[in-house]
Amino acid sequence: MRCITGSVLLLGFALLATAGNLNYVQDPDWKAPAEAASRRNPLAGNATAGAGGRKLFIRNCRECHGEDGSGLKQAADLQLPVVQQQPDGTLFWKITNGNPRRGMPSFSSLPEMQRWQLVLHLRTLRKNPPQ
């Protein structure tokens, strides 16, 4: 009986660990300058570029944000409306500059078009509304 109870507890903890960052609160001080926020994504509407963004996300972002973007560890839940409602330029700026106070690295070393591809992929991570 102890073995079964222990296994159930371990399974429960494993499920909670993969449930995403349920406590995510956006950093109120991490704001893109107006000029950066107003930038338009030059790849908008390019489905091929979005597929490339998924590959980049898996390679560079999955470790912290999870495969579905729900946020592991202390990372942002990228599916939340507070993230999804941000303009493309803001997301691009955040990817480029990172947020060292919250552990988000800068990805300025990625070519600019790859960072825009990541923004395209982030748009696919929206949560489905409850039915």
**For the chain (length 131 residues), average pLDDT per consecutive 10?**
46 43 74 96 90 95 94 89 95 97 94 97 80 53
* pLDDT score at 115: 98
**The dihedral sign for the CA sequence 54, 123, 113, 96:** negative
* pLDDT score at 21: 59
Spatial distance between the Cα atoms of 91 and 85, rounded to a whole number of angstroms: 10
Q: Is 2-125 in CATH node 3.30.479.10?
A: no
Which whole-number Å values give the CA distances from 88 to 17, 62, 119, in the listed order? 30, 20, 6
* pLDDT score at 85: 95
* pLDDT score at 129: 58
- b vs e for 72-98, b when ≥16 Cβ sit within 10 Å of the residue's Cβ? beebbbbbbeebeebbbbbbbbbbbbe
**Six token digits for residue 36:** 């950066």
Spatial distance between the Cα atoms of 29 and 52, rounded to a whole number of angstroms: 30
Report helix, strand or coil for 99: strand
Looking up tokens 């030059």 gives 42
* pLDDT score at 9: 41
Spatial distance between the Cα atoms of 44 and 90, rounded to a whole number of angstroms: 15
